[in-house]
Amino acid sequence: MLYPLIKLFTRLALLLFCRDIRIRNKAALGVSGPLLVTANHPNSFLDAIIIGAQFDRPVHFLARGDAFRKPWHARLLRVLNMIPIYRLRDGKEHLHLNEYAFDQCKQILASNGIVLIFIEGICVNSHQLQSFKKGAARIAIENRSRISFRVLPLGIAYDSLVRFGKTINIAIGSAIPVNELLPFDEDAKNLRYFNEQLFPQIEKLVEIPERKQATAEWKSVIAFPALIGYLVHIIPYAMIRLFVRNKTKGTVFYDSVLFGMLFLLYPLYLLLLGWLLCWLGVSSWLIVLIIVLHPLLARCTLLYR
């Protein structure tokens, strides 16, 4: 029940976090039937958030299991349809839990759902593809005899992996019937063939976008609201950014944690601002106007940069 509401707010939040999201082969987002989406993974959980927000139907994600260690983290991630999967580096004692993840994938595909897996099996802040792991191929091999599903290659790329106000390219390939990627009787051969066929397809879908500047005419129109938006947001944003930067130093989580913090705290900031204005005796209609203008001014600031 919460997922559609969260997706709606996520789409709105992305308008304030991302300057532009460009999608090639957008029609593929509405494809029916069970899908195994295989994508590259340059920017931690932000990749899953952005990709999932674009699809018409709910998307279930396989995510690194160590992120689920804290109970409240686990609850939040499961609300976002994320399924924990563990690597050897997370400890051998956790590997048996992967059976639950693969069973969940089986149930989702059997229900005509969408499973998104980052086929590299690791997040590196780079657009250069890493070698593919076995997870996606294993899901395909274990379910091909039970479910007729398709594999959808997808590439995601950013103009910057650290800068706020990103331009993002999402390029989607053609959906491939799973049996075309598993032509052999031996699982080992199928696993190798599956990854060998998908690697060049995903590699050509990773298209780093060029950042287009606003025209001089458009900048002149939004210059004043962009300045106001900058002035009213710079202090709270700078405080959150500094906190996140210190907490995520040396990791790949900066962007995803920054987005998550802003997603949770910005509505609270607006509520607190509204309460303060009410306490100061400002009229209700003016409070509503100020609250509504805040995200609009933030969007102007983003477009002006």
142-152, pLDDT tens digit by residue? 888 777 899 99
160, 178, 205 - which closes a domain: 205
CA distance 243 to 135: 34
CA distance 61 to 48: 7
172, 205, 238 - which closes a domain: 205
Beta bridge partners of 64: 85
Task: Report the domain count for the chain.
Answer: 2
Pair 100, 228 in one domain: no
pLDDT, tens only, 275-289:
999 999 999 999 999
Q: Over range 107-130, report the average pLDDT.
A: 92
CA distance 303 to 223: 10
Can you give the pLDDT at residue 78?
73
Helical residues (DSSP H) of the chain, grouped into ranges:
2-17, 44-54, 71-79, 98-110, 135-143, 187-205, 216-247, 254-279, 284-304
Residue 40 belongs to domain spanning: 2-205
36 vs 212, more confident:
36
pLDDT, tens only, 24-41:
999 999 888 999 999 999
For residue 93, is pLDDT > 90? no
pTM for the model: 0.91
In a domain, 210, yes or no: no
Pair 171, 26 in one domain: yes
